[in-house]
Amino acid sequence: MAKSVQERSAKAAQKRLAVAEKELRHKVRPGIEQAMERIRLRGQVPIISELLQIAIMKMDLMGDHELIEFLSYPRHEIVISENVARRFQEESLREIRRDSGDETFHPGILNK
C-alpha cells in the first residue's frame, strides 16, 4: 500500500533530524546562478545542492595556501605600458608649461 503525503513528509522529517540536516538559504544574482548551472552541467551533477556540497568537501581537503588562492576574488589588474606612461608624462609637462595653474604670492606684498 502506498504511503500518504503526510506519512512521506513525516518520514523525511525524521530522517533530516537523524542526520542533523540543516537547511541553508543563500541569495545569488543571476550571473552566479548561471555559472552554477554551467558548472552543474559540465560536471554532470544532477542538482545544485549536491554540486555545492561536493565543492565544499573538496575545498575542505585543500591546504591553507591553495584554499586562500582559490578563494581570492579575481581582480582586474591595470597595466600601463611604457609608451602610454611616457606620453602621459609628456602631455602633463606640456600642460604645466602652458599653464602652471599656480599664482605666486610673496609674503608682505599684496596683489592689487
Q: Could you report the per-residue pLDDT of 9-35, keeping only the tens digit for each?
A: 999 889 988 988 888 888 999 999 999
Q: Is the pTM of this model over 0.85?
A: no
From residue 25, how far is each of 34, 43, 90 by CA, in Å? 17, 23, 55
- When divided into structural domains, the chain yields a total of 1
| Per-residue pLDDT tens digits for 60-103 | 999 999 999 999 988 888 899 999 999 999 999 898 888 877 66
Residues of the domain holding 30: 16-72
Assigned domain for 105 exists? no
Domain contains 79: no
Asked, for residue 107, whether it belongs to a domain, the answer is no
CA-to-CA distance for 69 and 55, rounded, in angstroms? 15
Distance CA(45)–CA(56), nearest Å, equals 14
Whether residue 80 is contained in a domain is answered as no
